[in-house]
Amino acid sequence: MASRISIEEANDFMGIAFETKGPRHVVTHLDDGHAVVRLETDHTHLRPGGYISGPTQMALVDTAAYFSVMSLVGLEPMAVTSNLNMNFLRPCIGKTVVADARMLKIGVALAVMEVDVRVEGAEKAASHAIVTYALPRKETGA
């Protein structure tokens, strides 16, 4: 099954919903429960030694998880993060970082994703996360 939203719709939504100056997350792939998001870092994302900061990686993970959900349910702004568990595996040093999110399970109320973060071109993940999203309740016509 294909994504319920296009890459263009996802990036347009990001630009409108999360107005930011400077580098921003860019959705590069959307498929059935799968999203890839890319970020070109700048000095605001770095720690001494050129390490991409934990908060930067976590924001990228959350964005990729969000669009993994959207690929299945369509644009749903009220889907929210209910848990994010992050494991930092090795130093994340590089200009461009990519988060790859895959849906593990989606139900009526919750969606659970697995997300790997890599410096673009790297074979091994720099960090790994499990993310749970709470999905808004659907109105019943009763």
Q: Is the pLDDT of residue 1 over 90?
A: no
pLDDT, tens digit, 9 for 90 and up, residues 71-93:
999 999 899 999 999 999 999 99
Closest CA to 108 of 71, 69, 142, 77: 69
Q: What percent of the chain has pLDDT over 70?
A: 93
Q: What does the pLDDT average to over 50-64?
A: 95
pLDDT, tens digit, 9 for 90 and up, residues 110-131:
999 999 999 999 999 999 999 9
Sign of CA dihedral 60, 115, 16, 110: negative
Q: Give the chain's mean pLDDT.
A: 92
Tokens of 97: 């970082």
Q: Where does 1-142 show beta strands of DSSP type E?
A: 26-31, 34-40, 46-47, 51-52, 80-88, 96-106, 110-119, 127-134
The CA distance from 40 to 19, in Å, is 16
Is 3.40.50.300 the CATH classification of the domain at 7-134? no
Can you give the residue ranges of every domain in the chain?
Answer: 7-134
Q: Is the pLDDT of residue 18 over 80?
A: no
Pick the more confident residue, 23 or 87. 87
- DSSP state for residue 4 in the 8-state scheme: S
